[in-house]
Amino acid sequence: MINYRVLLSVFVFFLSAVNLFAADDADELLYSIAKIMAVITLLSILLVMWLVLIYSERNDHRGELIKAPIRKFINMLTKSTPVEKEHEILMEHEYDGIRELDSRIPPWFHGLLWVTVVFSIVYMIRYHVVGSGNVQAEEWLEGMRLAAEEREILVRSGAFLNEETVTFADDAATLNSGKEIYDKNCAACHGNAGEGLVGPNLTDDYWVHGGGIKNIFSVVKYGVPQKGMISWQTQLDPTQMQAVSSYIMTLHGTNPPNAKAPEGEIWQEEKGDDKNI
Ligand code: HEC
């Protein structure tokens, strides 16, 4: 006979082992494999315990204690007229010797009908009377609302901003933050007023890599490492790069003192693209 206390301690040890795994989530894959193995082990232990319970000497050897109610339950679900009583439900008609029994629908199937009836009542009250659930159309609208919200967040975080899509942002808040970013990160090389120092003058008509918001954004993002202009994309997020690039655009034509001699070529914006001036 199996000792229950031994089984119980194995079970408790097993539970604590699962907890140990849970504490270490360093390796996700290993963890999920361990979880699956843990569940399988747990199920096997439960199966063994169940078998022990059924066949243990405390009960009967054939496990009737457990099996009988289960069998009764299954019989209840599938109840049909026993063969010896079939004559009671035999119908009148006969075709070429073929007779028909007026059998009952199996109770489980009949029960299913009532489950659907109850379900439909609950469903109708919840979705059409009280309205606490979303019908399909509302669910769709809700999904669209969430997607729009998510998009809004992405737009704000600048996820869609790149050198192709960037535009000149002329609102004061953006330009102010652009100035802050400039003073902190760029003034050391481009001068406090953009007049140029190590880096080129950013206020004149001449650009080495082309003027306009898209070119400026691109140089800021990728840099020109071999010439001493670093790439800023790891330090500034896209909205910050847009802000500082827009701020640089506002420096154009300010003629600061000690301006560095022009470098590069005169930049002319294509017509009809005023936002890029
Ligand atoms: C370590 C010095 C240094 C810092 C800091 C620096 N730059 Fe530059 N930058 C340069 C140099 C040098 C060039 C010229 C690259 C070349 O000739 O190709 C340059 C070029 C540029 C250009 C292109 C100019 C043109 O004529 O095409 C832009 C725009 C620019 N930097 C913006 C910025 C911004 C914005 C920041 C701050 C976020 C910044 N830079 C910080 C050194 C620097």
Q: In which residue ranges of the chain is pLDDT below 50?
A: 1, 272, 274-277
Q: Which domains does the chain have, with CATH numbers?
A: 4-70 (no CATH), 172-276 (1.10.760.10)
CA of 231 relative to ligand 1 center, distance in Å: 9
CA of 270 relative to ligand 1 center, distance in Å: 23
Q: Residue 246, exposed/middle/buried by CB under 10 A (0-12, 13-18, 19+)?
A: buried
Ligand 1 atom 22 nearest Cα:
219
Looking at residue 127, what is its pLDDT? 87
Looking at residue 98, what is its pLDDT? 94
Among 168, 182, 183, 190, say which to mutate for ligand 1: greatest number of ligand atoms within 8 Å of CB.
Answer: 190
The binding-site residues of ligand 1, defined as CB within 6 angstroms of any ligand atom, are 185-186, 188-190, 198-200, 207-209, 216, 219-220, 224, 227-229, 232, 244, 248, 263-264
Looking at residue 275, what is its pLDDT? 47
Q: The pTM is what?
A: 0.57
CA of 161 relative to ligand 1 center, distance in Å: 20
Ligand 1 atom 39 nearest Cα:
186
CA of 241 relative to ligand 1 center, distance in Å: 13
